[in-house]
Amino acid sequence: RGGIKCPRCEHWKKCKADCDCISDSCKNKTCVGAESCVDGIKNQDETDVDCGGDKCPKCEITKYCDDDCDCHNAICRNHTCVPNCVPECQNNGVCTIHKTCSCPEGFTGVSCEVQSVGLCHDNDTFGVEPILSVTFASGRPQYSRSKPSEFNFTTTYKQRFEPVTNDGMFSFINSIHNDFHGAWHTGAIDHTEDEGGYMLLVNADYRPGEFYKGQVDNLCVGLRYEFSVYLANLCIPLDRIKPNVRFEVRSPSTGNQLLAQLRSGPIPVQRQLAWNKYGLSFVAPSSSVVLLMISDAPGGMGNDIVIDDIALRVCSHEGTGFCPPEQ
């Protein structure tokens, strides 16, 4: 076979020129199939088998490449197609094969830009005076006439100055009123047990609402702070919806950018009103931040909560964590 007088040779037969082969392709004196992007051979100008170069489809992740043009929805780094995450992963996050960022512990978000770290250790904040402290004052009347603005915060709930604090409402109260026929811990007092000390009681409704929103200024950029609060579930029946609070730290000056976020998880029902500390810690990227507590559970039958002793303090630092602007 082959030559001028005999039929052309089939694949893998010896040859001298392309015209000796049925495929018109003689390589290394052997007839091979016509070059294509599906022949399972790295030929033509392919950078990897059947991909890359000018003739074949772009290569997938982990394939060999010479430049970005050889890769499909990826970039060429050290002659390998690697995932391309837009925006790029921050805080040592790793772009995965699914083109999403795999975030290290303590970060979340599309590009690992959001801090998600819990409270500082007790010995990191012990004895440190808080930069922000909200205890809602004290008084003899069961219902305080003070407004949220007097404590430098806002809420999306409507204030109530007497019974009953219904869905979508809040009260500053120094002992729990029996609003719902024994469903709440009637007579319970605030966390610090101050004489006549008020606490923030919220009867959350079906729409997600803000329990607390306040701005703090004069932070020291680069220091870690703890945003904390004491919370308790008001309800006694076990079948009621449990409160769940989402803590957020946002930037007031760059489009309300989310800087840190963490959820309390369902706050359990207790036989007696039980206060527990919740919150998060974050590294201040600017001197001012907005602190929020948001209802993260459906309201209605349950989701009733009391809030006390909101605080912001610096963690693991000898100074106050207060950095006034230079004059």
**In sequence order, which residues have a C-beta less than 8 Å from that of residue 149 and are 6 or more positions away?**
none
Q: Using alpha carbons, select from 172, 194, 188 the residue that is nearest to residue 234.
A: 188
Q: Average pLDDT over the chain, rounded to whole?
A: 92
Tens digits of per-residue pLDDT, 107-121?
999 999 999 999 998
DSSP 123: H
pLDDT at 317: 76
What is the percentage of the chain residues whose pLDDT exceeds 70?
97
Q: Residues 267, 247: contact at Cβ < 8 Å?
A: no
Tens digits of per-residue pLDDT, 212-251?
999 999 999 999 999 999 999 999 999 999 999 999 999 9
Tens digits of per-residue pLDDT, 81-98?
999 898 899 999 999 877
Tens digits of per-residue pLDDT, 271-304?
999 999 999 999 999 999 999 999 999 867 899 9
Q: Judge whether residue 10 has pLDDT over 90.
A: no
Where residue 3 falls among pLDDT bands split at 50, 70, 90? low
Q: What is the pTM of this model?
A: 0.78
Q: Residues 46, 69: contact at Cβ < 8 Å?
A: no
Where residue 327 falls among pLDDT bands split at 50, 70, 90? very low
**In sequence order, which residues have a C-beta less than 8 Å from that of residue 62 and are 6 or more positions away?**
80, 81, 82
Q: Does domain 132-316 have CATH number 2.60.120.200?
A: yes
CA distance 165 to 144: 13
User: Please, is 238 exposed, middle or buried when counting C-beta atoms within 10 Å of its C-beta (0-12, 13-18, 19+)?
Assistant: exposed
Q: How far is CA 320 from CA 85, 137, 317, in A?
A: 39, 23, 8
Question: What are the structural domain ranges in the chain?
Answer: 132-316
